[in-house]
Amino acid sequence: MRFLITGGAGYIGSHVAQRLLDTGHDVVILDNLSTGHKDAIPPEAEFYDIDLADGQATAQCVSCGPWDAVMHFAALSLVGVSMERPYEYLRSNAVTSLNLIEACAKYGVKRFVFSSTAALFGGKNLPPVIPDTAPVEPASPYGESKLIVERALKWADRIHGMRSACLRYFNAAGADPEGRLGEDHRPETHLIPLAIDALLGRRSSLKLFGNDYPTKDGTCVRDYIHVTDLADAHIYVVSKLDKESVTYNLGNGKGFSNLEVIEALERVSGKKLPWSWAPRRMGDPASLVADSSRFRADLGWNPLYSDIDSIVETALRWRITHPNGYAS
């Protein structure tokens, strides 16, 4: 099969591209390298340096089909920054996605897989494990921008028959088990790579934001899904789009607190991690854990790296072997 992947130089997009290539598919990547890295693009993939904000260039590339599916990962994705620059996030993520969706509809794309987010579930009184039928109430402009795209995709199905999968995944983590790819955001805001860098002495002590949440140890609880398992889920869901558009939550179904992540990293490394408390961050929910049971039942998917030790071990190994991240 032949896939077009936007944001394929980024963390999740590059892992999905690699898994598709590993399983014998052809991959074309679009990325403007504003946050991604050229060295993260698998060498077997075809690459075009294109900004989705350029509707004409986007349409020209989409016209070079046919595509068995388009997978859309490109987006601004920092929740905290979106609270500071809400209109930039709403405008950028909506416009770039609409340019792509419009081009896909024009050139007859029938399957579209969208990188959505658990940030859609920001309301109060959420259940301990969140089903994909839970009320959607974004707590940040980032989450709101993803909801805008989900709604646009519903219209693309209704008007043009382009079926889509909106995959609302929780906290992607870890690295390619073969060591080819890893996580390298600049600036880095994710807990596990920040903790690893503190452990390795590459930054000052880790700061944990908040110790008074209504959780088992007072720290935020998150559902960490290994990025390779997440990549496999994208491949699984394509066949579902032959029949209907779908929306799924994707995660382990297990919640790990910030303190439990630190304990896992100390177990795996055999070292003590320096850390200290910091005030809560605006927009951080106390707990986000996915109910992925419907996805598992519908598609027979099960995570291969479901324990937190395996997740942090692959991340630690990649950051040890790549002390400066990607070169570009």
Active site residues: 142
Distance CA 105, CA 82 (A): 29
Q: How many CB atoms lie within 10 A of CB 52?
A: 25
Q: Where are the beta strands (DSSP E) in the chain?
A: 2-6, 26-31, 46-49, 69-72, 111-117, 163-169, 171-173, 206-209, 221-222, 224-226, 246-250, 256-257, 275-278, 287-288
Instruction: Name beta bridge partners: 137.
Output: 121
Pairing of β 256-257 and β 221-222: antiparallel
Q: Which amino acid is at 217?
A: D
DSSP 138-158: -SSHHHHHHHHHHHHHHHHHH
DSSP conformation class of 240:
G
